[in-house]
Chains A and B, each alone.
Chain A
Amino acid sequence: MSRRRFLKATIAGGALALYSTKSALGMAEFGGYPEGMGVLVDLTRCVGCRTCEAACNREQGLPEPDLPFDDPSVFDQTFHGGTQKRRTDEGAYTVVNRYETKGSGGPVYRKIQCNHCNEPACLTSCFVNAYTKTKEGAVIYNQDLCVGCRNCMIACPFRIPAFSYSSAFEPRIWKCIFCYDTRLKYGKPPACVDACPFGTLSFGHRKTLIKIAHERIRSEPEKYVDHVYGETEVGGTSWMYLSGVSFDQVGFDSTLQHYPILDNAKSFLSTVPMILAIWPALFMGFHLLATGGKGEMEDKESQNGEEGRGE
């Protein structure tokens, strides 16, 4: 390797290090696009009709489910020894589950789908940038880049992305994309919101929705828990929830951190350029100290080689 090439490589490596730190740390304060849209889900209004599931299925061209959308027996389905309820998968971007809760005078239904985080863990954990956060607030996915490593599924705190394990040649991630291609891009609400007959789902600017949510809590404090789930969870999400019962009773993770998941890796990411910069000099220094700069090893080596070859 010539000196010039070595220098070039060093500069390129350094630039890469600088670039990677900047993009990683530069996003620290990102709180979502100012005009980003969102949906407020009011669990007190949901009756579990699953119209939203059906609308999503139609809009996204997903496969027909085993049981029809008006069959309430799906609420009794449990998995993994009764510990798990239905979840999103390659055939369903959204799922409504029923929870028997204390002090609510009946079952509570909860719709789950991708919450479209302001600073999505799936996006920041993806090593090929297969995810994009659009200015409208949607987190969309590009299957043409996806390698299928499933790190996004590890990282998603809401356990939303699903993978088509049964596909050998075109496996991909499946998750709600906020109807970005067909609706959100044109300023229209997603199919599920349009279809909801009970006003459970409200579509609007995220900022406005936060105001509306707090207004609802303020005007009916006995009806709501004083918390807007998704306002600050993992740095804020575009989809937010209001509930009449404590959130952990209806399957929400109430222990989530209130800053982006990416922040967890930052202390490591910030050491990367430092190690790249410090280690070469440090270890070359050790090398000179240890060998006295005489390169004893190489000398011996070449003598041995000579011995073998010569005479």
Chain B
Amino acid sequence: MNRLVEKGFRPINSLNDPDDGHVWSFRQKLLLGFSPREYFRQVLHNRLNWVIALIFAVGLPLILYRYVMGLGAVTHASNDYPWGLFLGFGLFVMVPLSASGFLLGTAVELFGQSKFKPILHLALLNGLMGYSFAVVYLLMDLGRPWRLYYPMFVSWGTAAVLFLVGWHVAIYLSVQIMEVSESFFEWINWPNAKRFIKSGTIGLTVAGIILSTLHQGALGALFTYAPGKVHPLWYSQEFLWIFFLCSSVFAGLCMVIAVSTIVEKTMAWRCSRDFLENLEPITIGLAKGASMALVTYFVIKLIGIAHDNEWAYLATGWGAWFMLEMFLGVVLPIILFSIAIRKNSVGLVRFTAFLTVFGVAMNRLDTALISFNWNLYQEIPHPFELIISVTLFTLFVVVYRFILYRLPILYSWKTAPSAAYGTAAEEKLGPDLAPAPAYRSSSGPPRG
């Protein structure tokens, strides 16, 4: 796609066709301005799509198999290990990595940090995507997924932490849908709906903070029901929810850095100049926030060990694993971030962000799966379980990319009036839209 844009292709980023001023049809917007044939060629041309197709070819039948034959056919989840990879990865890893929405929402909308504005919509979308897919993974894992709404409408188990998780994720999901729908309404050209959402931004943002504080913490508090089953180094009755909440801060920030890196490398054509030019200072800014949270997390983890007097465990094999997690996911990132911030090295920040995301994933998997039943026996996930988890993650990437290609997330939607186009309109459309009159002619686009 980057190459097509170099050759003069202009993906749709405005209400009207800048050449003749007609309003783009929904289908044209869906196809980014290609004809169906061109679009299909472009899809086939992308090698990543072939990999995705291969993963789906293997994974989708397995998902069907799971719904026909039951969970036992595709997982090693058992009476001793009730929660496997679907929840371990899909819920406990995806949710902290999706904290970006509320963090950037707070920074931009609430604290007025407008320098983060160009990345705000990406952060909001990242939040929405992560939570949506946490629910998708949940639907895979629940014994009776068609009863997902039961805790909301049928029977209330109000004393359960999971009840909080369910309600808050459900409410927060709707908050995030509303936040992201701003871009959607722009895209489908419903200005009134957009204005309505916009008027409630502050309310939605505050709701986002409340709900995120509670359910990020609640995911940690879930494990306080399993004292003795989770290894003491990963278990802390009083602090577990604070650990989860605090680590979700740098998890979310690093996830935005990671995603924006991928976006910049693979779909620069879809990014506005505003986004691309500001990305480096934004990345450094996010890294500063993340390293604050990392230092805090490191300190409270130390307090946690001291509070429960778990020093002796550090000398065991579990302690070595724990220290490896802390080193890779917390200490090393703190060191690398501080070097990168001082040297203003965006590359190092990005590397560190990926490392931190890995560290958070490791922490959640350690808590939910690896150190769980530490004095019983180790469970290795079923190969099908792994394949389905990867398939769902691939679906996550596909949907993520589908939205980024179309909705004004990485660029801003131009609503120039149809009457004024030509030179004046091009000026207004912004410098990122390099005028390329040759391409739109009927003779057909150049192909690479």
Partner of B143, one of A87, A148, A268, A275: A148
In contact, A128 and B157 (Cβ under 8 angstroms): yes
Q: Beta-carbon contacts of B68-108 to A below 8 Å, as 1s and 0s? A: 11111101011110110000000000000000000000101
Question: A19 to B156, alpha carbons, bound, how many Å?
Answer: 11
Name the distance in Å between B82's Cβ and chain A's nearest Cβ: 4
Q: Beta-carbon contacts of B207-240 to A below 8 Å, as 1s and 0s? A: 0011001100110111011111100000001101
In contact, B228 and A165 (Cβ under 8 angstroms): no
Surface stretch bound by A, among B159-167, B249-257, B355-363: B159-167
Name B234-275 residues within 8 Å CB distance of A: 237-238, 240-241
Name B104-161 residues within 8 Å CB distance of A: 106, 108-112, 114, 141-145, 147-148, 150-151, 154-161
With most chain A CB atoms within 10 A of its CB, the pick from B67, B148, B151, B420 is: B151
Chain A residues whose C-beta falls within 8 Å of the C-beta of B416 in the assembled complex: 308
| B contact residues, total (Cβ < 8 Å) | 76
- Name which residue of chain B comes closest to A234, CB basis: B227
A83 touches B (CB below 8 Å): yes
B200 touches A (CB below 8 Å): yes
In contact, A172 and B143 (Cβ under 8 angstroms): yes
Question: A188 to B114, alpha carbons, bound, how many Å?
Answer: 71
Which residues of B are interface residues toward A (Cβ below 8 A)?
67-73, 75, 77-80, 82-83, 106, 108-112, 114, 141-145, 147-148, 150-151, 154-166, 198, 200-203, 206, 209-210, 213-214, 217-218, 220-222, 224-229, 237-238, 240-241, 376-377, 414-417, 420, 428
In contact, B144 and A163 (Cβ under 8 angstroms): no
- Name which residue of chain A comes closest to B149, CB basis: A147
In contact, A290 and B159 (Cβ under 8 angstroms): no
Question: A168 to B159, alpha carbons, bound, how many Å?
Answer: 29
Pull 16 A–B residue pairs with CB atoms less than 8 Å apart, ordered by A. A1-B203, A24-B159, A124-B159, A147-B148, A150-B77, A150-B82, A154-B222, A162-B79, A165-B70, A166-B69, A166-B70, A168-B71, A264-B224, A269-B161, A276-B214, A308-B414
Q: Beta-carbon contacts of A87-125 to B below 8 Å, as 1s and 0s? A: 111000000000000000000000000000000010011
Question: A128 to B144, alpha carbons, bound, how many Å?
Answer: 13
The 8 lowest CB-CB distance pairs between A and B, nearest first, are A148-B143, A165-B72, A150-B82, A268-B221, A171-B143, A155-B225, A168-B70, A153-B82
Question: A89 to B82, alpha carbons, bound, how many Å?
Answer: 13
Name the distance in Å between B137's Cβ and chain A's nearest Cβ: 12
Taking residues whose C-beta sits less than 8 angstroms from the other chain, chain A's interface range is 35 or more
Name A117-171 residues within 8 Å CB distance of B: 121, 124-130, 145-151, 153-155, 157, 159, 161-168, 170-171
Given A124-B160, A147-B147, also A308-B415 (CB < 8 A):
yes
Given A269-B161, A279-B213, also A291-B112 (CB < 8 A):
yes
In contact, A264 and B377 (Cβ under 8 angstroms): no
With most chain A CB atoms within 10 A of its CB, the pick from B80, B109, B217 is: B80
Chain A residues whose C-beta falls within 8 Å of the C-beta of B213 in the assembled complex: 275, 279
In contact, A146 and B143 (Cβ under 8 angstroms): yes
Partner of A129, one of B143, B147, B156, B222: B156
- Name which residue of chain A comes closest to B237, CB basis: A264
In contact, B420 and A311 (Cβ under 8 angstroms): yes
In contact, A147 and B144 (Cβ under 8 angstroms): yes
In contact, B71 and A155 (Cβ under 8 angstroms): no
A63 touches B (CB below 8 Å): no
Given A24-B159, A125-B161, A272-B214, also A147-B110 (CB < 8 A):
no
Chain B residues whose C-beta falls within 8 Å of the C-beta of A279 in the assembled complex: 206, 209-210, 213
Partner of B218, one of A146, A268, A307: A268
Given contacts A268-B241, A297-B108, 5 further A-B contacts (CB under 8 A): A121-B225, A128-B151, A256-B228, A279-B209, A283-B206
Partner of B225, one of A89, A151, A275: A151
In contact, B210 and A145 (Cβ under 8 angstroms): no
Chain B residues whose C-beta falls within 8 Å of the C-beta of A252 in the assembled complex: none
In contact, B162 and A149 (Cβ under 8 angstroms): yes
Name the distance in Å between B414's Cβ and chain A's nearest Cβ: 6
Chain A residues whose C-beta falls within 8 Å of the C-beta of B73 in the assembled complex: 166
With most chain B CB atoms within 10 A of its CB, the pick from A1, A155, A167, A280 is: A155
Question: A283 to B111, alpha carbons, bound, how many Å?
Answer: 9
Given A165-B77, A168-B69, A171-B144, also A127-B112 (CB < 8 A):
no
Chain B residues whose C-beta falls within 8 Å of the C-beta of A166 in the assembled complex: 69-70, 72-73
A37 touches B (CB below 8 Å): no
Given A265-B225, A280-B206, also A163-B83 (CB < 8 A):
no
Q: Beta-carbon contacts of A269-293 to B below 8 Å, as 1s and 0s? A: 1011001100110011011001100
- Name which residue of chain B comes closest to A152, CB basis: B82
Partner of A267, one of B112, B203, B229, B238: B238
Chain A residues whose C-beta falls within 8 Å of the C-beta of B150 in the assembled complex: 128, 145, 147
Chain A residues whose C-beta falls within 8 Å of the C-beta of B222 in the assembled complex: 151, 154
A219 touches B (CB below 8 Å): no
Question: A287 to B158, alpha carbons, bound, how many Å?
Answer: 32
Chain A residues whose C-beta falls within 8 Å of the C-beta of B200 in the assembled complex: 1
Given A149-B162, A154-B83, also A264-B227 (CB < 8 A):
yes
Given A127-B162, A268-B217, also A168-B68 (CB < 8 A):
yes
Q: Beta-carbon contacts of A249-262 to B below 8 Å, as 1s and 0s? A: 00001011100011
- Name which residue of chain B comes closest to A121, CB basis: B225
In contact, B377 and A283 (Cβ under 8 angstroms): no
Chain B residues whose C-beta falls within 8 Å of the C-beta of A309 in the assembled complex: 415, 417
Name the distance in Å between A63's Cβ and chain B's nearest Cβ: 16
